[in-house]
Amino acid sequence: MTKRKSSSILIFIFLLVVLAVYLSPLVLMVFGSFKSYSEIMSNVLSVPQSFSMKNFEGVFTSMNYPKSFLNTLIVTVIGVVGIVIISSMAGYKLSRVKTRYSYILFLFCIMPMMIPFQSFMITLVKIARQMGLIGNLYGLGIIYWGLGAPLSIFLYHGFVKSIPRELEECAMLDGCSPLRMFVSIIFPMLKPVTASVIVVNAMWIWNDFLLPLLIIGSSESSKTLQLAAYGFMGQYKMEWQNIMAGAILIIIPALIIYFIFQKNIVKGMVAGAVKG
Amino acid sequence: MNKALKKKTSHVLEFLGFTMPAAIAILLFVGIPFLMCIYYSFRKWNGIQKGSSFIGIKNYIRAFTNDSTFLDSIAYTLLYAVLAVIFINVLALFLSVILEQSKVFAKGLFRAAFYIPNIISLIIIGFVWKFIFSRAFEAIYSSTGAALFGWSWLGEPKLAVASTVLVTVWQALGFYMLIYVAGLQSVPDDVLEAATIDGAGKVRRFFSVILPLIVPSLTVCTFYSIASSLKMFELIFTLTGGGPGSATTSVALDIYNTAFNSNQYGYGSAKSVILFILVAVITILQVTVFKEREVEA
């Protein structure tokens, strides 16, 4: 018994050391964000002399943080809401209707999970330009519908199989229309999957960089947080204290989403692991 | 109109109404662009002028015979992927087993803490690690004198490759640990107890009992790590910018440069198709090999 206890203490200490080393870059980032220019150049590793918010205030304005935050929020909400609506409807129907055509359409819908984004980004930009989706946030959000739907349909499709059909048959007999039945009976039952779909897609869209770069590009007023970060950090070259403060400002919203939805993330990410 | 036909039409309409919004979105933003990419891969197209001209497989021939940057990017991407996949999976599995098999206090907290880097966007990760490799390593070197920290981690081609792998593993580890922990939790206790009673030690128990039972998790994790490392773009974009020289230019970054920096859209499309084939062949092979090894408890 004592042997077992001491070995588990050893493992605990081992894990603690590993974790400390593992998270040390982030600790240095936090320290750095509070330092002045001369302090970060001379004392990289030490605890900051004072925890002044000066860097954060400067970065907050020069990155146009509130505007970029709002832009990212708009894109994420448009993207996620659209994905949830179209994928839940399609996933449900494709799972219930068992004909050859339905199966072919299902395969078509999930096939894009196998295609790397970089394999079609060049022509995606061309199409987006022809459709007038370039340079605005709504266009960006709408494009995410097509990119996020395959995985989400796959998740909904799998989950619908576990829902008994009796309820729908009853509703049908009561003269309920298909759309109304979906909205008031089926969709509420899909809640666990919807939570995962929301988390997986929200984290992805929030942190995505390449698609906004291609669609929004240098349009100053529509920059998302990631684009603003990129522009800002390139411009400040070696002013590390500002870069670290900017990094923290961008990480915080994602961190908050993570802690709120932590349980769903575990489920959703494991499910999302299928995404290729 | 007879009743049966009417009912059938309404069923078809209902089916289309539910499925078409998603199908159209996927068609517009993935299907058509992808087919167009294949089409343009056989054409000369600079993206600015309207027209493009058919040039057969010249783009493909050029990619494989007359473009050392592209060939280097394939070599780098494969090397990077192999190293990243091995380190990610071995380390994630190792840490998950330690976490799950021991009676450690605050397991959940450890898992959550390891997951934090995964929440941060790769763009930010690139900048933070640039700081670590340059400023922090320098400071550690001058205070401890450990040669390791004195090396030019982003300036030497070979070390830069190692740096990209290191940061990738660091960022991804927590995510893969989640999947492995879920897999380990599904291993039934009675099987483990039986193995212990039969006299199997910890190591033996891992290789003969646990490992065969968590092959499904291994399949998912290897698949996902292969697919995502073969198309790595964002981290490299800010961490090394593909350099020094083109030592860390991945295929995805090369496609981006070809199309959007040198305006060779047709040629970039051909490279895109090659990337697709590369990812498809490798992942299909991997999944087939791993699927054969799955057993049930």
> CATH 1.10.3720.10 residue ranges in chain B?
68-291
Q: How far is A251 from chain B (nearest CA, A)?
A: 6
CA distance B70 to B264: 13
Tell me: pLDDT of A143 over 60. yes
**pLDDT tens-digit readout, A215-244:** 988 777 888 988 888 888 777 665 888 888
Contact A119 B34 (CB under 8 A): yes
Residue with the larger pLDDT of the pair A254 and B27: B27
pLDDT band at B278 (very low <50, low <70, confident <90, very high): very high
CA distance A50 to A48: 5
**pLDDT tens-digit readout, B203-238:** 888 888 888 888 888 888 998 899 889 989 989 988
> Would you say residue A21 lies in a domain?
no
Preceding peptide of A212 cis, ω within 30°:
no
Residue with the larger pLDDT of the pair B81 and A171: B81
Q: What mean pLDDT do residues B78-92 have?
A: 95
Q: What is the pLDDT of residue A162?
A: 81
Q: What is the pLDDT of residue A1?
A: 46
CA distance A136 to A212: 10
Q: What mean pLDDT do residues A11-37 have?
A: 87
**CATH classification at residue A249:** 1.10.3720.10
Q: B43 - beta bridge partners?
A: B54
In the block, residue with structure tokens 């929020």: A73
Tell me: pLDDT of B280 over 70. yes
A273 contact residues in B (CB cutoff 8 A): 175, 179, 220-221, 224
pLDDT band at B82 (very low <50, low <70, confident <90, very high): very high
> Would you say residue A100 lies in a domain?
yes
Across all residues in chain A, what is the average pLDDT?
Answer: 85
CA distance B268 to A6: 59
Contact B37 A247 (CB under 8 A): no
Please tell us whether the domain made up of B68-291 is placed in CATH 2.30.29.30: no
Residue in B closest to A125 by C-alpha? B33
The number of domains in chain A is 1
Tell me: pLDDT of A256 over 60. yes
Residue type, A45: L
Tell me: pLDDT of A94 over 60. yes
> Is there a contact between A207 and B124 (Cβ–Cβ < 8 Å)?
no
Whether the CB of B110 is below 8 Å from some CB of chain A: the reply is yes
Q: What is the pLDDT of residue A161?
A: 84
Q: Which of A123-132, B119-128, B218-227, B239-248 has the lowest mean pLDDT?
A: B239-248
Q: What is the pLDDT of residue A274?
A: 44
Helix (H, G, I), strand (E, B) or coil at B54: strand
Q: What mean pLDDT do residues A178-201 have?
A: 87
pLDDT band at B102 (very low <50, low <70, confident <90, very high): confident
Q: What mean pLDDT do residues A186-192 have?
A: 88
**pLDDT tens-digit readout, B160-194:** 999 999 999 999 998 899 889 888 888 888 888 88
Q: What is the pLDDT of residue A270?
A: 59
Q: What is the pLDDT of residue A169?
A: 82
Q: What is the pLDDT of residue A59?
A: 83
The residue of B8, B18, B103, B256 whose CB has the most chain A CBs within 10 angstroms, and thus the best one to mutate to test that interface, is: B18
Tell me: pLDDT of A12 over 70. yes
Q: What is the pLDDT of residue A238?
A: 59
> Would you say residue A90 lies in a domain?
yes
Structural domain containing residue A259: 66-272
Structure tokens at B238: 């800010």
Tell me: pLDDT of A7 over 80. no
Whether the CB of B226 is below 8 Å from some CB of chain A: the reply is no
The residue of A29, A106, A113, A120 whose CB has the most chain B CBs within 10 angstroms, and thus the best one to mutate to test that interface, is: A120
Tell me: pLDDT of A2 over 60. no
What predicted TM-score, i.e. pTM, was given to this entire model? 0.88
> Is there a contact between A147 and A208 (Cβ–Cβ < 8 Å)?
no
Tell me: pLDDT of B26 over 50. yes
CA distance B194 to B185: 17
The residue of B39, B70, B119, B148 whose CB has the most chain A CBs within 10 angstroms, and thus the best one to mutate to test that interface, is: B119
Residue in A closest to B112 by C-alpha? A262
